[in-house]
Structure 1
């Protein structure tokens, strides 16, 4: 189990602490629907890693072995036991991450994947966990330069995990500026800028751990006292469904490719600068950007009972995902694929429940039916628990969604 998976319980504990403080002091940082939408996207991201294999190590390790004579000649001798070596590895990794992250904002096909992390219209620790399921599998290219300095795979993996774990804490609004940190490290202040959709803040502050890359390459922007950050993306998602979140920009590009008459645009729009749209496709399907002067967060109203039901289901999905990550090595690929499919469907439908989507009621009953049918495939006690969960959830959901229509109310503090 890698460092990121081991860190997940601590991430969730930190979220609960921030949520408790938010409720205690009335900061208004958390909404139930947006938080579940972000956490659902994070769960779906972790699930996707169970059924797909990254190319980085598949390519990196053989090339590293091939370059051994070069490393011996240069005298490279990295060690995971050396704190200085680990620090240098993190610096080198973060330099590569900066360019990967920057291109993730500047090229359409890369933005389609990275966009997911920016869709939340709230900014709190759940935003850090909002991650994509993985798009075009070429991110490994940005880390190939690390072969030139002979960085072993184990140091690459460790540095990457530390880089990612570090980025968790900067997704908060309640940590103030600390001047000396702003010059060297990525901080909550300069990362708030990165997540803002205000014109002055767009496409700034790409570093993962170190902000020095942005200062060196002209992409640094300080958080301005007179320009409060407005979070989200200029073409809002308007759903809490994590599957739809991952498909948002791909769908938009596919429709543009379909509607444009230019074959050149059909082939190249995917790799053009983010936001590029063929003129004829834009005329056929205008997509105006959000007017920030009139900005309102997406916040559909559903009954309190349905909100609590969605929260309870999310807790179940979180527990099931942690168990699946822990025991994944003991399952066949087919078993993994089936479990991931059921959990992924649940996450998507849960998002639609929070949207108040008219088809969510029947979709949830169909999902629970599929879960009930899958129960005999599990060991006896686990199968009984799964069947009990499915039957109980179905009875509760039937009452909430079909037996009567509750008043649409918001939870206190939402």
Structure 2
């Protein structure tokens, strides 16, 4: 079991604690739809990882093995058991993470992979779990220089996991500035800046564990008392569907490449500055940025019963994902892939339900029917549970959506 998978229960416990305090004290940090949207993206990133080969290790391990005799001759010998080795590994990893993260904000194709993490218009611990599913797998190349110091794959993976786990806690609005920390470590204050779309805050504070990289390379910005952070991206996603979230920027670049008449633009727009669009494509398909002076979060009005249904479904997908992560090694690839597809289908439909999309009244029944006919392909251990889930969910959905003509899943502007 990896460190990140092992940390998931603690992530969820901390999230529930912050959510409880939010409701008790009336902070207003959490909205059901946005939280489910963020957690849905996180679930999708984890289940996709079950059926996708990690390119970093696919490249890194053979290169390390090829260079291993050279490391031995030079006396390079990293050890997971040596705490000083691990401290050095985390510092080195974080240095390259800084450049990976910075390029992800500055180059179109890299932003397509990273934008998912920034789409939430709220900022709380659920935002930390909003991760990309890696449809544009390019981040791996930034860590190849660690071969120059002979870092073994297991040390690299451990340092990367610790770096990512550290970043969880900084996604909160309720931790104040601590001056010494702002100089050395990534803190909730300077990471709030990173997630803000205010002009003064955009493209700042890229560090994962250490903020010293931003201070050294001129990308540091302090959180200002007179400039409250406005979270989200300048071109809002406006859906809670995690699959659409992963495709948002990639789809826009693809449409631009298809539309523009310039072959030079078709080939180069992917590697231009983030947000760059060919002039003819932008004129034909304008995508306005959000109005920060009159900022309104995407928050469609959906029937309360339907919102509770979406929450129950999300908890079901969470339970299914935890089961896959902790016990999936005993399943063959085909069964795992089927389970992953069924979970992703549920996440997509759940996001669209919270969007207030009226088509989901039929699509949700179709999803449950598909799951029901797939039962014989799943492990026999879960047949009864899945069958019961399908019957209960179908009955609840029918009662909520079809029982009363006026009680439908509709979006109401407000």
State the TM bucket, normalised to the shorter chain. Answer: over 0.9
Q: Contact 1:375–1:384 (CA<8 Å) still a contact in 2?
A: no
Give the SS at the match of 1:229. Answer: coil
Task: Report the Cα offset of residue 73 of structure 1.
Answer: 3.6
Once the two structures are superposed, the pairs formed by residues 123-138 of structure 1 within 5 Å of their partners are 123-138=123-138
Q: Could you say which residue in structure 1 is the equivalent of 2:325?
A: 325
The 2-side partners of 1:379 and 1:67 are apart by: 43
Once the two structures are superposed, the pairs formed by residues 7-22 of structure 1 within 5 Å of their partners are 7-22=7-22
Q: Could you say which residue in structure 2 is the equivalent of 1:107?
A: 107
Q: Could you say which residue in structure 2 is the equivalent of 1:152?
A: 152
Query: What CA deviation, in whole Å up to 9, does each residue of 1:253-276 have, x standing for no partner?
Result: 111112211111011111111010
The 2-side partners of 1:244 and 1:378 are apart by: 27
Q: Could you say which residue in structure 1 is the equivalent of 2:272?
A: 272
The 1-side partners of 2:351 and 2:408 are apart by: 20
- Name the CA shift for 1:255/1:27 in 2 (closer, same or farther; >3 Å): same
Query: What CA deviation, in whole Å up to 9, does each residue of 1:362-384 have, x standing for no partner?
Result: 11000000111112333445201
Q: Contact 1:304–1:409 (CA<8 Å) still a contact in 2?
A: no
Matched, 1:217 2:217: yes
Q: Could you say which residue in structure 1 is the equivalent of 2:311?
A: 311
Once the two structures are superposed, the pairs formed by residues 66-145 of structure 1 within 5 Å of their partners are 66-145=66-145
Query: What CA deviation, in whole Å up to 9, does each residue of 1:353-403 have, x standing for no partner?
Result: 001101111110000001111123334452011111101100110111111
Higher mean C-alpha deviation, range 397-406 or range 352-361: 397-406
Give the SS at the match of 1:28. Answer: coil
The 2-side partners of 1:388 and 1:379 are apart by: 15
The 1-side partners of 2:229 and 2:212 are apart by: 22
Q: Contact 2:113–2:137 (CA<8 Å) still a contact in 1?
A: no
Higher mean C-alpha deviation, range 70-79 or range 247-256: 70-79
Give the SS at the match of 1:51. Answer: coil
Query: What CA deviation, in whole Å up to 9, does each residue of 1:46-78 have, x standing for no partner?
Result: 011011111111211121122223323432121
Q: Could you say which residue in structure 2 is the equivalent of 1:226?
A: 226
The 2-side partners of 1:409 and 1:104 are apart by: 36
- Name the CA shift for 1:409/1:280 in 2 (closer, same or farther; >3 Å): closer
**Runs of at least 5 residues in structure 2 that lack an aligned partner in the other structure:** none
Q: Contact 1:201–1:221 (CA<8 Å) still a contact in 2?
A: yes
Once the two structures are superposed, the pairs formed by residues 381-400 of structure 1 within 5 Å of their partners are 381-400=381-400
Task: Report the Cα offset of residue 409 of structure 1.
Answer: 11
The 1-side partners of 2:277 and 2:68 are apart by: 46
Q: Could you say which residue in structure 2 is the equivalent of 1:358?
A: 358
Once the two structures are superposed, the pairs formed by residues 339-354 of structure 1 within 5 Å of their partners are 339-354=339-354
Q: Contact 1:104–1:114 (CA<8 Å) still a contact in 2?
A: yes
**Runs of at least 5 residues in structure 1 that lack an aligned partner in the other structure:** none
- Name the CA shift for 1:381/1:134 in 2 (closer, same or farther; >3 Å): closer
- Normalised by the length of structure 2, the TM-score is 0.97
Give the SS at the match of 2:49. Answer: helix
Q: Contact 2:113–2:246 (CA<8 Å) still a contact in 1?
A: yes
Task: Report the Cα offset of residue 408 of structure 1.
Answer: 8.5
